[in-house]
């Protein structure tokens, strides 16, 4: 593997498992000094140990502004700089809005949108000091087309996508490039732990692996492409649905039927594995 990030510091949130851990491992393999952030200290430290001596674990709740400041200060203290910031931490609580607990809705907003905005703001002065730096935000196809029964999650990903695109324009001409990766469903605990509550519609789209998403994140840090949507076909369908709102409504019964079958196959495969 070509080590494209030797001597660079990469901060990754939500790095204790799933996509975040895969992103941290891949940047580590690329020669980066990786600063891993997540709430679960034990799991976070295990991933850092796996990556090696150039990995630093800083337990962080990105919904807490004080912990966000401490993360940036700790990263600079440990490595001397920040060259890449990956806002990957995510949270969801599925179900109809009318039945949702208000504190759960607030946490979705805090982790998925408020946290990345505040962390970006805290890291920007350091990023702007570099000759070249990147911010990569992990959004979702749910941020391209509304997802019923995940309305607040979808709203936060729409918001993160809008923030990323606006910030990319704001920082045009500076050393900092802004990208986002918008995956469809990913085969991680984010879905498998809450399978019964994941809408059938989600399973109508092909499932990506955490490693596939991680590769897209690293490539964005390399070339600064504004957005990568995976799978690409799902992104094209989402764009069509966004431009023609009647289309998803017309296709939804068929997609839900297809998703229901795929969900059962997925459940059986995981029960026997």
* Catalytic (active-site) positions: 153
What is the distance between the alpha carbons of residues 230 and 138, in angstroms, rounded to a whole number? 11
The b/e string for 36-65 (b: 16+ C-beta within 10 A; e otherwise) is: bbbbeeebbbebbeebeebbbbbbbbbbee
CA 29 to each of CA 6, 89, 222: distance values in angstroms, whole numbers, following the listed order: 10, 21, 14
Residue 208 gets which letter from DSSP?
Answer: B
Query: If you write DSSP's letter for every residue of 216-247 in order, what string do you get?
Result: HHHHHHHH--SEEEESHHHHHHHHHHHHSTHH
CA nearest to 35, candidates 85, 94, 1? 85
**249: its two tokens:** 């409504």
What is the distance between the alpha carbons of residues 45 and 41, in angstroms, rounded to a whole number? 6
Helix or strand or coil: residue 108? Answer: helix
- Tokens 């087309």: give the residue: 145
H helical segments located in the chain = 18-29, 41-51, 65-79, 102-109, 115-127, 151-170, 189-192, 210-223, 232-243, 246-272
């Amino acid at each position: 593997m070509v080590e494209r990030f030797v001597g660079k510091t990469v901060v990754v949130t939500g790095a204790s498992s799933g996509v975040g851990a895969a992103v941290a491992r891949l940047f580590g393999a690329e020669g980066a000094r990786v600063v891993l952030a997540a709430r679960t200290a034990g799991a976070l430290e295990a991933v850092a140990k796996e990556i090696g001596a150039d990995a630093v674990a800083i337990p962080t709740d990105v919904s807490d502004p004080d912990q966000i400041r401490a993360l940036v200060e700790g990263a600079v203290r440990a490595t001397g700089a920040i060259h890449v910031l990956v806002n990957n931490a995510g949270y969801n609580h599925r179900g109809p809005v009318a039945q949702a607990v208000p504190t759960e809705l607030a946490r979705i907003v805090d982790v998925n949108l408020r946290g990345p905005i505040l962390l970006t703001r805290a890291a920007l002065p350091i990023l702007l000091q570099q000759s070249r730096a990147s911010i990569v935000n992990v959004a979702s196809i749910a941020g391209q087309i509304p997802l019923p029964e995940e309305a607040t999650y979808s709203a936060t990903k729409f918001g993160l996508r809008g923030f990323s695109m606006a910030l990319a324009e704001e920082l045009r001409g500076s050393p900092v490039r802004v990208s986002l990766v918008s995956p469809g469903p990913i085969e991680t605990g984010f879905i498998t732990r809450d399978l019964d509550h994941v809408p059938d519609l989600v399973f109508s789209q092909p499932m990506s692996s955490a490693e596939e998403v991680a590769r897209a994140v690293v490539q964005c840090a390399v070339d600064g492409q504004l957005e990568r949507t995976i799978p690409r076909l799902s992104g094209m369908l989402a764009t069509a649905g966004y431009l023609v709102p009647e289309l998803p409504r017309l296709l939804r019964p068929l997609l839900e039927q297809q998703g229901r079958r795929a969900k059962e196959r997925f459940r059986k495969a995981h029960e026997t594995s």
